[in-house]
Chain A
Amino acid sequence: MSLAGFTTMSDFIRVEQLCRRFDLSEPWLVRMIYRRPKRFLNAVDNVSFAIERGKTYALVGESGSGKSTIARIAVGLLGPSSGRILIDGHNLHDRELSQAEHRRIRQRLQMVFQSPYASLNPRWRVGNILAEPLRTFSLVDGRQAEQNRVDELLEQVGLSASDARRFPHEFSGGQRQRISIARALASRPDFIVCDEPTSALDVSVQAQVLNLLKELQHDLRLTYLFITHDLAVVRVMAHTIGVLKSGQLVEEQDTATLIESPESDYTKMLIRSAPRIRDDRPVIN
């Protein structure tokens, strides 16, 4: 059963007819001389879906499908051309919002990025990286409280309090992703967009990070928008899957149904192309 267009009061995140167009036109002088029209790219083309609170929605697609663009619009790094994204009823891109209201919404959303190397400022100590959201949103009072919260965050992701003094380059890729996750948790958000969080990690480290994300979702009642191209990861991470192709949502189903009985040809192709290890693996313990 498709959920597109079906919205209920329990929808925590609602994406409504989202469109984002990029202007790829040549400079106007060139266009004047050669009489060429403007050229646009519809990166996101009328996408609508909803996410229930505490669940994970996966956006699956190849490069150029628009999934990263949607992720960036969801956290306010990009604006939509038309349509909107509502987080618990609030619209981040609403121009009528006051500064304070804007801040309140920003506090409730966060993002975990793909690259463990570029997502942490190499010149900042880990403690400061984690403290930044605390300071920006004035969430703690005084140095001691700040340090306590930083230590708490580090332990929550499986690192230790002494790691706060270190610099990012002293950590491995998997550990850096944990620090990114800790930073995302700092402002106690409700909604986290995970943009290919494990694509750059080795398989055994990926397992650690994915397990951590799921544990946190359960403990903190987080809602995830999970962006990925990897159907195998999606299988164990998501409740619902939306398949994106060239900016359009071509299919949307709960995980088991989509993978076992895909409807669109594109989805079938994606599932077919996913590399398989073997057909008769023992049960994962």
Chain B
Amino acid sequence: MSAQKSLMGRFRESDFLYDFKRSPVTVVSFVIVVTLILLAVFADLVAPTNPFDAGSLNLMNGFTPPMQPNAFTGETFYLGTDDQGRDLLSAIIFGLRVSLFVGLTAVILAMVLGVSLGLIAGYRGGWVDSLIMRAADIQVTFPSILIAMLIFGIARGLLPPHMRDELAITVLIIAIGLSEWVPFARTVRGTTMVEKEKEYVQAARLIGLGSGQIMLRHILPNVLSPVLVIATITLALAIIAEATLSFLGVGAPPTEPSLGTLIRIGQDFLFSGEWWILLFPAVTLLALALSVNLLGDWLRDILNPRLK
């Protein structure tokens, strides 16, 4: 057979890249997502101002429309300012960071939890499987937002008031993560049950490997491909969930507003004519969630076993 190509060489010639380049929608979505992620990561460097530094704010800048100099101070802001004079562009960039951080961490939590439970349920079977699956069934009957709010509410009740704002983000991540593990678990469980019967697992059992080792080293690599697709779609859901919770006032605190919080703020001013305070954060959120969703769709179609 021909010599082994380098990893980069194989990737460049792979079907994966080929199909990717053929789908313009996917390329655009990918570009949008990457751009937004980069903006969020380098927020400190990219944003023109720091909107949360109270000292730098000038109330007189408040309610400035986009691209028009302020009547009082003469400063211009690309996307305008909100009621407190915060530059909306900067606020969106920092809000993006919060939204993405919460979304990604929540998905990772849901993934780790869901995949582990799915592996255990599928491999062990019996009453362990029944227990985990019934827990999943019960959880899924409630809308995930309600579960997140429930967890959030319990946490707030347990924590002393001065810690609430600090830990709000952590609680938010846990709440969303715990509400999204079920699709991971169910998919992984199904694939695990199939893989467990295959002879390579029997061969591993034969030499005396324990269940844990077999699940981790043999089965896990083979159940991961649908997980990537679910993770992408769950990311979009998590971002929307976080935005919803923040919008309802139970999510990110005003000191660290996310896109959802900004939307809530903007909603108050929509009908008094300051439309930009709502529109730009909303469009950003839409772009983010939609692009992630489209990427997930494409991934799912690509990773589907096809006729060779």
Q: Is A136 an interface residue (CB 8 A)?
A: yes
Q: Within 8 Å CB of A119, what residues of B?
A: 198-200, 203
Whether B205 pairs with A123 at a CB distance below 8 angstroms is no
Quick one: closest B residue to A116, CB to CB? B199
Whether B218 pairs with A121 at a CB distance below 8 angstroms is yes
Quick one: closest A residue to B209, CB to CB? A136
Q: Is B8 an interface residue (CB 8 A)?
A: no
Q: Is A54 an interface residue (CB 8 A)?
A: no
* A1 → chain B closest CB, angstroms: 34
Interface residues of B in 175-216 (CB under 8 A from A): 198-200, 202-209
Interface SS majority for chain B = helix
Convert A114-156 into 0s and 1s, putting 1 for each residue whose CB lies closer than 8 angstroms to a CB of B. Answer: 1100111111100000001100110000000000000000000
Q: Which of B199, B207, B218, B222 is the most central at the interface, judged by chain A CB atoms within 10 Å of its CB? A: B207
Q: Is A110 an interface residue (CB 8 A)?
A: yes
Q: Within 8 Å CB of A166, what residues of B?
A: 1
Q: Within 8 Å CB of B23, what residues of A?
A: none
Whether A76 pairs with B199 at a CB distance below 8 angstroms is no
* A61 → chain B closest CB, angstroms: 20
Give the complex CA separation of A170 and B10 in angstroms.
15
Q: Is A19 an interface residue (CB 8 A)?
A: no
A120-B206 CB under 8 A given contacts A165-B4, A170-B1: no
Whether A77 pairs with B199 at a CB distance below 8 angstroms is no
Q: Is A244 an interface residue (CB 8 A)?
A: no
Q: Choose among B206, B218, B222 the residue that contacts A110 (Cβ–Cβ < 8 A).
A: B206
Give the complex CA separation of A106 and B203 in angstroms.
12
Give the complex CA separation of A120 and B1 in angstroms.
21
Whether A120 pairs with B200 at a CB distance below 8 angstroms is yes
Quick one: closest A residue to B198, CB to CB? A118
Q: Choose among A103, A106, A122, A183 the residue that contacts B222 (Cβ–Cβ < 8 A).
A: A122
Q: Is B160 an interface residue (CB 8 A)?
A: no
Whether A106 pairs with B207 at a CB distance below 8 angstroms is yes
* B206 → chain A closest CB, angstroms: 5
Q: Within 8 Å CB of A102, what residues of B?
A: 208
Whether A111 pairs with B206 at a CB distance below 8 angstroms is yes
Contacts from B to A (Cβ < 8 Å): 1, 4, 198-200, 202-209, 218, 221-222
Contacts from A to B (Cβ < 8 Å): 72, 75-77, 102-103, 106, 109-111, 113-115, 118-124, 132-133, 136-137, 165-166, 170, 180, 183, 187
21 chain-A/chain-B pairs, Cβ below 8 angstroms = A75-B206, A76-B205, A77-B202, A102-B208, A111-B203, A118-B199, A119-B199, A119-B203, A120-B200, A121-B200, A121-B218, A121-B221, A132-B204, A132-B207, A133-B207, A136-B208, A136-B209, A165-B4, A180-B203, A183-B203, A187-B207
Question: 9 tightest A-B contacts by CB?
Answer: A119-B199, A123-B221, A113-B199, A118-B198, A121-B200, A118-B199, A106-B208, A136-B207, A133-B207
